[in-house]
Amino acid sequence: MTSLADCWAMDAQDPLAALRERFVLPDAMIYLDGNSLGALPKATEARVRDVIAAQWGKDLIKSWNQHDWIGLPRRVGAKIAALIGARPHEVVVADSTSLNVFKALHAALSLRPGRRVILSDEGNFPTDLYMAQGLAELLDDKHELIVVPPEGIADALNDDVAVLMLTEIDYRTGRKHDMKALTAAAHAAGALTIWDLAHSAGAFPVDLNGSDADFAVGCGYKYLNGGPGAPAFIFIAERWQQAASQPLFGWMGHDAPFAFDLDYRPRQGPGESIDRFLVGTPPILSLAALEAGLDQFAGVDMAEVRRKSIALGDLFIALVEQELAGHGLTLASPRDGNRRGSQVSFRHPEGYPIMQALIARGVVGDFRAPDILRFGFTPLYVRYQDVWEAVQRLRVVMVEQDWQRPEYRRRAAVT
Amino acid sequence: MTSLADCWAMDAQDPLAALRERFVLPDAMIYLDGNSLGALPKATEARVRDVIAAQWGKDLIKSWNQHDWIGLPRRVGAKIAALIGARPHEVVVADSTSLNVFKALHAALSLRPGRRVILSDEGNFPTDLYMAQGLAELLDDKHELIVVPPEGIADALNDDVAVLMLTEIDYRTGRKHDMKALTAAAHAAGALTIWDLAHSAGAFPVDLNGSDADFAVGCGYKYLNGGPGAPAFIFIAERWQQAASQPLFGWMGHDAPFAFDLDYRPRQGPGESIDRFLVGTPPILSLAALEAGLDQFAGVDMAEVRRKSIALGDLFIALVEQELAGHGLTLASPRDGNRRGSQVSFRHPEGYPIMQALIARGVVGDFRAPDILRFGFTPLYVRYQDVWEAVQRLRVVMVEQDWQRPEYRRRAAVT
């Protein structure tokens, strides 16, 4: 039996405990949804105010040079690179994850001419699949998206597969793919890989180069704490940077954007050509907020983050099973912490109203159709005692059948 | 002869004079570059702080519903619609202008099957041409971008042209196309139109529906004062909304984004289907800043804005010719204010160092290759006395040959 006192003891020994002070966390709320929107770093407000008031307000257009606004996509990209096992010049920040999937897919397909298939799995986030469908239609259906169950990937890899596109962590169950093994399997079949790191970057140490990954994308607003709708990133392995191209020819990807040539010429040069994955004018306010989010990782040992993440998830599973046996909650996540991301999900046929009732009691997770209750554990700011308290409130919701109230069945625009 | 006293008198009678108080303008600077980056509205800092501290910080993920973050692309779009002669549901805010050009181009081409040509002119902003080149390559060169001189457009319209894509205001010279006449000519040839309103929206009254326009795009960071790299907008005429599609299939364009279907199904329904032009998660901080910019137009008579814009430009031309005759500055903009946007440009072979010297003296315009000195007059915050003062400082630069200093020849990353 694990007690609240045990949880206090774990918090007292947590080497990451002090990091919580870097974030704004409402008193009454236990926030277990950092995998959907990361919490606000205390530094962000001042950072954005500085960009607005001191840079935009005082120096106006001169800020592009004077405050190196033009360098932000690369500078912030380099800070992400440090978290995902990439070299500084292998990552830029641009657009949304969806759009970066499109660019990476096109680049991968052109590097594998003659191969027809984009292979993905049912655990991929839908927007990645949609982008592949859009691209395949655009290319006159000469390519095809094939979606298999996660356990069927290895068998589906053959010499018709141009690219294997996967999200490392299943957004519903938290199941973690073996990036290194699957990349090796794809390469053995002659295919390239695109890894979506939406639920990986900032959640645990990612090793793109150690896994020999080709392309990756990811979002800034989950574990990177960059703010709602923060810009996304794209990784292109150094070995592909000269050959890789993408068809969204924007002026920020031009070799000389301020020459205003009438013809597009992609950015050239070692360590520079990744800029051809930029399109339009970079969103400076959002980039500044994302940079503030990334600065919270200064001095943080990602191996320690991973240890705590697994411990928080293990504790949650143990406490739910200890306190809530017989209430119909089924573990949807791998029990083995090494095979999970930084979330734990349970299934329940009444998952939607249960989650609404829980949110009304101050424990914020989220629901994913059809029956998933999803709880994210961000090691930078979630405490062991929060896990205890969350399970206690879930217990009240289940025991009192609080979720039966009609208002909890009302569907909101965003779930 | 126009004197400084005359300019003071014009300011005293200016019905828009009080609007200047809505903006942050550095004391020592005369800012004539609002056509590149609009000035900071005083309201923006508090608006963004509220979204960061009170919404993101306190309500976290719940803000998507509670503060209607999910509705921002449409709500801010409707505010832009009011400035460009569109219905509220004909405009959404999304991505960058470049990406919206791509979407509009693809939509237009699919509505005109069998036609091969994207027609544009040499006065178009390069990124629009690049996007067309990228799309044409992607479509296996079954389509072709043809770029003609602005005066050759009418002659180039034939039954092979699918779409006429033009920027209304030439970014270098400020020359204004006749949107209504060219749209009619395109339609007479069976082609559709895409208007880039980068230098139009917020600068003068635009009448998309009155011109029978099909598609339009534009940027948020120039005359709309939305901040550096603010998100862009796209207009789709109501009559095309059910039939128009674009290939960047993102979850925000899905008919039921939170059903997490594996297959893309574009948003349906009258007044709703424009959402299929959305792609990824909307950038909330940037959208909030753009909304604050748009709110500065509350109660502003756009016809009055146009009158002042022309008067400022006419005054600048008159003063440059009065004070600087014989210094080699040649008018690059139409002399007739009705044929100009809200800028005036002069050519000079030493344009680059002259502009740097002028900026060093506190008059901020910009330079556009090869020889254009560009001065933007934003009627919301530029005064007649500023025009006088700008010309006096330009006079010093030219008479003293101040621009000959070597440091003014050094090229910055952004020009």
CA distance B96 to chain A (A): 5
Whether B95 sits inside 8 A of A97 (CB atoms) is: no
Give pLDDT, residue B286. 98
SS3 A118: strand
Verify that B231 and B343 share a domain, yes or no: no
Residues of B with active-site annotation: 125, 196, 221-222, 374
Q: Is residue B156 part of a domain?
A: yes
Q: Is residue A44 part of a domain?
A: no
Q: Is residue B30 part of a domain?
A: no
> Would you list the DSSP string of A263-298?
S--B--STTTGGGGG--S---HHHHHHHHHHHHTTT
Nearest CA in chain B to A125: B260
pLDDT tens sequence across A172-208: 999 999 999 999 999 999 999 999 999 999 999 999 9
Give pLDDT, residue B401. 94
Verify that B276 and B363 share a domain, yes or no: no
Give pLDDT, residue B272. 94
Out of B37, B147, B247, closest to residue A137 by CB = B247
Q: Is residue A224 part of a domain?
A: yes
Alpha-carbon separation of residue B283 from A95, A229, B215 (angstroms): 9, 4, 23
Q: Choose the final residue of a domain: B275, B295, B315.
A: B295
Out of A48, A221, A263, closest to residue B48 by CB = A48
Instruction: With a cut of 90, say whether residue B1 has pLDDT above it.
Output: no
> Based on C-alpha coordinates, what's the Rg of chain B?
22
**Chain A residues within 8 A of B49 when measuring between CB atoms:** 45, 48-49
Verify that B252 and B364 share a domain, yes or no: no
Give pLDDT, residue A141. 82
Q: Is residue A22 part of a domain?
A: no
Rounded CA separation A70/B413 (Å): 8
Verify that A204 and A226 share a domain, yes or no: yes
pLDDT, mean of residues B235-247: 97
Q: Is residue A21 part of a domain?
A: no
Cβ B134 vs Cβ A248: under 8 Å = yes
Distance of CA B357 to the CA centre of its chain: 27
Ranges of residues in chain A whose predicted pLDDT is under 70: none
Whether A280 sits inside 8 A of B97 (CB atoms) is: yes
Instruction: With a cut of 90, say whether residue B140 has pLDDT above it.
Output: no
Q: Is residue B354 part of a domain?
A: yes
Verify that A266 and A314 share a domain, yes or no: no
Structural domain span for residue B72: 49-295
Give pLDDT, residue A125. 97
Of the pLDDT bands very low, low, confident and very high (cuts 50, 70, 90), residue B415 is confident
Instruction: With a cut of 90, say whether residue B141 has pLDDT above it.
Output: no
CA distance A1 to chain B (A): 33
Q: Choose the final residue of a domain: B295, B317, B351.
A: B295
Verify that B362 and B227 share a domain, yes or no: no
pLDDT tens sequence across B57-91: 999 999 999 999 999 999 999 999 999 999 999 99
Total structural domains within chain A = 2
Q: What CATH number should be reported for the domain holding residue A149?
A: 3.40.640.10
Nearest CA in chain A to B129: A262
Verify that B228 and B306 share a domain, yes or no: no
Whether B147 sits inside 8 A of A359 (CB atoms) is: no
pLDDT tens sequence across B277-334: 999 999 999 999 999 999 999 999 999 999 999 999 999 999 999 999 999 999 999 9
Whether B280 sits inside 8 A of A369 (CB atoms) is: no
> Based on C-alpha coordinates, what's the Rg of chain A?
22
Give pLDDT, residue A70. 97
Rounded CA separation A243/A240 (Å): 5
Verify that B130 and B237 share a domain, yes or no: yes
pTM: 0.98
Verify that A102 and A83 share a domain, yes or no: yes
* Residue for token pair 């509350």: B298
pLDDT tens sequence across B216-226: 999 999 999 99
Q: What CATH number should be reported for the domain holding residue A368?
A: 3.90.1150.10
Verify that B261 and B146 share a domain, yes or no: yes
Verify that A270 and A323 share a domain, yes or no: no
Verify that A157 and A206 share a domain, yes or no: yes
Q: Choose the final residue of a domain: B295, B314, B335.
A: B295
Whether B134 sits inside 8 A of A262 (CB atoms) is: no
